[in-house]
Chains A and B, each alone.
Chain A
Amino acid sequence: MAPATEAAPARTYDDEAAYVTVDDAHRVRVARGFVPNMRVDGVVYVNAALRALVLEELAAYCDATAHRGGGYSPALKQIANVAALPGVVGASIALPDVHSGYGFAIGNVAAFDVGDETSIVSPGGVGFDINCGVRLLRTNLTEAEVGPVKEALAQSLFDHIPVGVGSRGIIPTTPAALEAVLEMGMDWSLREGYAWAEDKEHTEEYGRMLNADPSKVSARAKKRGLPQMGTLGAGNHYAEIQVVDEIYDEFAAKKMGIDRVGQVCIMIHSGSRGLGHQVATDSLTAMERAMERDGIEVNDRQLACARISSQEGQDYLAAMACAANYAWVNRSSMTFLCRQAFAKMFGKPPDELDMHVVYDVSHNIAKFEEHMVDGEMKTLLVHRKGSTRAFPPHHPLIPVDYQYTGQPVLIGGTMGTCSYILTGTEKGMRDTFGSTCHGAGRARSRNKSRHVLQYEDVLEKLKTKGIAIRVASPKLVMEEAPESYKDVTEVVNTCHDAGISKKCVKLRPIAVVKG
């Protein structure tokens, strides 16, 4: 029963590395044969510096003595395992922030041809935190106005938004309301007065996936989701007050309502909380049965999947859509709370502060999209796990406001580092199914961070940078320290240089609220 990849690595590091060849300055290719049954190649977008990190992970995996019985598949193996799934087209693509995940690597994109009846949908390609994503709000405030009150503002945000382990939402919900949330997504938020009509316009899918069917979400998932609505969560989730540090593309920035350096924005990074986690967990169990029945073989148990056309596949997609709707409502509820906190602080209603949603992206999701494959237009089910959609200008699925700029792509940095707004490009549409990176991507394990870093040092460092921080768990500060992550600038530059997305705005944090 042990998946094939878990057998003791018989090949040495040199043997393994021979499959990994450098395509150009921004790409490496993982050739077929790296793992059994690969149908397409793996393509990894990394520059020289990030390439070293990816290979380091592979080296650690080959060094059997290092992990004494434990160990896990490195990202490169996982990318290759995805390239072995039925129905995969083009390539199994990884973005510069890629690192080892479970099933799919984090930062992995794969598309499956809907026209091919053997094609699959995999919850492992979406992740446990379904529709985890980033939302950016702008304001008409400047750093000069917010700077003096940032400590108070950070405290206010921390008081308004429930964060951390075991936190409960403060917006009252009933089981009946939850059903409506799952079905309607942000239309529910709008109806209940927690969102503005314009917010929907600037959200992927307009904040509502239409194939959502709440009856496909288990009672367990609903039970977990009910108390957590409107909570930030823990881990790498955060709410940050940021200021515009640099504008690379004035035209595009202006379209987003960002017109000067020093302008204050708010970034919210969160997902579908326990509801999404439970939907993913439940589906793994259901899909195992489907795999046995349909004779689907995969290299890793966490890659449980089902044919798109099968009952299990359809059920998962309907439940995933519900979780996605929940996540949008969750981010909308926190947007509401942020607007309240700012309004109280500055004594003006949120609309006078111009607190509009710039955009809201999903970076853990599977969607049906039209793409060109070998000169032919095909409907694909694109899985993006730790990867952001980045559609080019004039694409019909992006809002009117961004038709000339391309879709805004929000890249959350890590605690204390910069964040970016990028825009989608034609090249990305051709090469990566219109996808780009999603964040910095971890470089160091959580455990190592806790041992190497000191809580006080990390906080001191943030303080010297002038960043106010409110955090529920000290342990998390070490795990989430910037030192644990790759350099987000390096990641974004690689995507920019490779042409799969374009840099637009750089943001720098002045206050962080975390689990």
Chain B
Amino acid sequence: MPTTELEGVAHEVLPKREPRAKRRRRDGSDGAETRTTSERDGGDEGESGGARADAREGFEPIARVTRYAPEREDGGPEAETRAEESEDEIRARRGVKYEYKDHTADIQIHAWGDDLAEAYAWAALGMFDYMTPLEDCVGAPQMRYREIRASGHDLDTLLFAFLDELLFTFHTEMLICTAVQVCEFNRDAWTIRAVVGGTTFVDGQTRQGTEIKAITYSAMKIIERETSTDAEGHRAELFVIVDI
């Protein structure tokens, strides 16, 4: 990130923002590009909640969960339609880049992306999705934002610290993240700075998943490829086991 000097102190310069319409393209599953910014506070968008503009200036998540609305032919309850698809199918259609792999006692999260920053971001969302179904949380009228900083001394420790920080934020501030923007992924100092957006978990209201106790180094694997060689075309992927 470029810096500028003001009164003898170096400041980081935020990158220039792209025009809003262009930024929306990433998640425009329902023609969100055509909407104007004035719509952004309308809380009645329901299904397309994940695709609406973010209230926070400059928030440009690299990974975000959108609401998957199945096509309802007979207008029946959504849950029924949903039950016909397996979890993996739904996940694929929602376009999320994580999955859960078999582990006897705990859960192994497999996340991927075009670069490590994206894979880290999806791993974080995978973690939250296990604790509460994230699609319930997207499009909430009150989005909360928070900056997350973590540091380590290699890729493993950095991932561990990053996820631990988010888990800590959940357990102390009850913040459920549905979108993650990685602002800085520094491999020299091994630091990560991210802005996450999400909603507050309300005991008794938010649907419960399974509690994640901690992040582990057990069988942690972080893979980066120069050129995309694997079948799915992921440049970066990671495996992390979380303790249930």
Listed in ascending order, the chain A residues whose CB lies under 8 Å from chain B are 1-2, 6, 57, 67, 69-73, 75, 99-103, 106, 128-129, 162, 164-168, 220, 223-224, 227-228, 233-236, 274, 277-278, 280-281, 284-285, 288, 300-302, 304, 442-448, 450-451, 472-473, 475-476, 479, 515
B172 is an interface residue with CB less than 8 A from chain A: yes
Task: Name, among A73, A75, A475, the residue most crowded by chain B CB atoms within 10 Å (CB to CB).
Answer: A475
Q: Which residue of A lies closest to B161 (CB)?
A: A285
Please give the distance in Å from A175's CB to the nearest CB on chain B. 13
Please give the distance in Å from B107's CB to the nearest CB on chain A. 6
Contacts of B71 in A (CB 8 A): none
Which residues of B, 197-244, contact A by the 8 Å Cβ criterion? 201, 203, 206-211, 213-221, 223, 237, 239, 241, 243-244
- Other than A235-B244, A446-B103, give 5 A-B pairs with Cβ distance below 8 A: A165-B201, A235-B210, A280-B214, A445-B104, A476-B209
Candidates A2, A73, A448; contact of B218 at CB < 8 Å: A73
B72 is an interface residue with CB less than 8 A from chain A: no
Cβ contact within 8 Å between A284 and B131: no
Q: Which residue of B lies closest to A274 (CB)?
A: B171
Contacts of B90 in A (CB 8 A): none
Contacts of B106 in A (CB 8 A): 101-102, 446
Cβ contact within 8 Å between A224 and B171: yes
Cβ contact within 8 Å between A168 and B209: no
Cβ contact within 8 Å between A442 and B214: no
B110 is an interface residue with CB less than 8 A from chain A: yes
Contacts of B104 in A (CB 8 A): 57, 75, 99-100, 442-445
B108 is an interface residue with CB less than 8 A from chain A: yes
Sampled A-B contacts (9; CB under 8 Å): A69-B110, A99-B105, A162-B203, A166-B201, A274-B171, A301-B156, A301-B218, A445-B102, A446-B107
Cβ contact within 8 Å between A72 and B214: no
B81 is an interface residue with CB less than 8 A from chain A: no
Q: Given contacts A70-B101, A128-B214, A302-B218, are A165 and B209 in contact (CB under 8 A)?
A: yes
Interface of A is mostly: mixed
Contacts of A106 in B (CB 8 A): 105
Cβ contact within 8 Å between A165 and B211: yes
Cβ contact within 8 Å between A281 and B107: no
Determine the distance from Cα of A227 to Cα of B168 in the docked complex, in whole angstroms. 13
Which residues of B, 163-194, contact A by the 8 Å Cβ criterion? 164, 168, 170-172, 174
B80 is an interface residue with CB less than 8 A from chain A: no
Q: Given contacts A70-B110, A301-B217, A445-B103, are A472 and B156 in contact (CB under 8 A)?
A: no
Q: Which 9 A-B pairs have the closest CB atoms?
A: A102-B218, A234-B211, A445-B102, A473-B208, A72-B219, A102-B216, A301-B217, A128-B214, A302-B218
Task: Name, among A1, A103, A445, the residue most crowded by chain B CB atoms within 10 Å (CB to CB).
Answer: A445
Q: Which residue of A lies closest to B165 (CB)?
A: A220
Determine the distance from Cα of A155 to Cα of B107 in the docked complex, in whole angstroms. 30
Cβ contact within 8 Å between B210 and A475: yes
Contacts of B156 in A (CB 8 A): 1, 301
B68 is an interface residue with CB less than 8 A from chain A: no
B87 is an interface residue with CB less than 8 A from chain A: yes
Contacts of B86 in A (CB 8 A): 451
Which residues of B, 114-161, contact A by the 8 Å Cβ criterion? 131-132, 154, 156-157, 160-161
Determine the distance from Cα of A128 to Cα of B131 in the docked complex, in whole angstroms. 17
Q: Given contacts A67-B101, A278-B168, are A6 and B221 in contact (CB under 8 A)?
A: yes
Cβ contact within 8 Å between B208 and A166: yes
Determine the distance from Cα of A71 to Cα of B104 in the docked complex, in whole angstroms. 11
Contacts of A228 in B (CB 8 A): 171
Contacts of A99 in B (CB 8 A): 104-105
Cβ contact within 8 Å between B211 and A447: no
Cβ contact within 8 Å between B218 and A224: no
Determine the distance from Cα of A220 to Cα of B156 in the docked complex, in whole angstroms. 21
Cβ contact within 8 Å between A442 and B220: no
Candidates B87, B203, B206, B244; contact of A168 at CB < 8 Å: B203
Determine the distance from Cα of A448 to Cα of B215 in the docked complex, in whole angstroms. 21
Please give the distance in Å from B160's CB to the nearest CB on chain A. 8
Cβ contact within 8 Å between A473 and B209: yes
Candidates B164, B206, B218, B243; contact of A166 at CB < 8 Å: B206
Q: Given contacts A164-B211, A234-B211, are A102 and B241 in contact (CB under 8 A)?
A: yes
Q: Given contacts A100-B104, A446-B244, are A479 and B215 in contact (CB under 8 A)?
A: no
Determine the distance from Cα of A72 to Cα of B217 in the docked complex, in whole angstroms. 11
Contacts of B215 in A (CB 8 A): 281
Determine the distance from Cα of A228 to Cα of B203 in the docked complex, in whole angstroms. 12
Please give the distance in Å from A329's CB to the nearest CB on chain B. 18
Candidates B101, B102, B105, B221; contact of A101 at CB < 8 Å: B105
Please give the distance in Å from A96's CB to the nearest CB on chain B. 15
Q: Given contacts A1-B154, A129-B213, A224-B171, are A102 and B243 in contact (CB under 8 A)?
A: yes
Cβ contact within 8 Å between A473 and B108: no
Contacts of A1 in B (CB 8 A): 154, 156
Q: Given contacts A102-B243, A515-B208, are A277 and B214 in contact (CB under 8 A)?
A: yes
Contacts of A447 in B (CB 8 A): 100-103, 107
Contacts of B103 in A (CB 8 A): 72, 100, 445-447
Determine the distance from Cα of A446 to Cα of B101 in the docked complex, in whole angstroms. 9
Contacts of A473 in B (CB 8 A): 207-210
Q: Which residue of B lies closest to A101 (CB)?
A: B105
Cβ contact within 8 Å between B105 and A442: yes
Task: Name, among B161, B164, B219, B237, the residue most crowded by chain A CB atoms within 10 Å (CB to CB).
Answer: B219
Determine the distance from Cα of A471 to Cα of B198 in the docked complex, in whole angstroms. 26
Determine the distance from Cα of A67 to Cα of B108 in the docked complex, in whole angstroms. 11
Cβ contact within 8 Å between B214 and A73: no
Q: Which residue of B lies closest to A278 (CB)?
A: B168
Contacts of B171 in A (CB 8 A): 224, 228, 274
Cβ contact within 8 Å between A224 and B241: no
Determine the distance from Cα of A182 to Cα of B219 in the docked complex, in whole angstroms. 32
Determine the distance from Cα of A224 to Cα of B168 in the docked complex, in whole angstroms. 7
Contacts of A234 in B (CB 8 A): 208, 210-211
Determine the distance from Cα of A304 to Cα of B157 in the docked complex, in whole angstroms. 13
Cβ contact within 8 Å between B154 and A300: no
Determine the distance from Cα of A235 to Cα of B244 in the docked complex, in whole angstroms. 6
Determine the distance from Cα of A285 to Cα of B160 in the docked complex, in whole angstroms. 10
Determine the distance from Cα of A131 to Cα of B44 in the docked complex, in whole angstroms. 47
Cβ contact within 8 Å between A224 and B213: no
Contacts of B219 in A (CB 8 A): 6, 70-73
Candidates B170, B207, B213, B239; contact of A235 at CB < 8 Å: B213
Cβ contact within 8 Å between B213 and A69: no
Determine the distance from Cα of A473 to Cα of B207 in the docked complex, in whole angstroms. 7
Q: Which residue of B lies closest to A455 (CB)?
A: B83
Contacts of A304 in B (CB 8 A): 217
Determine the distance from Cα of A114 to Cα of B160 in the docked complex, in whole angstroms. 31
Determine the distance from Cα of A72 to Cα of B102 in the docked complex, in whole angstroms. 9
Determine the distance from Cα of A128 to Cα of B213 in the docked complex, in whole angstroms. 7
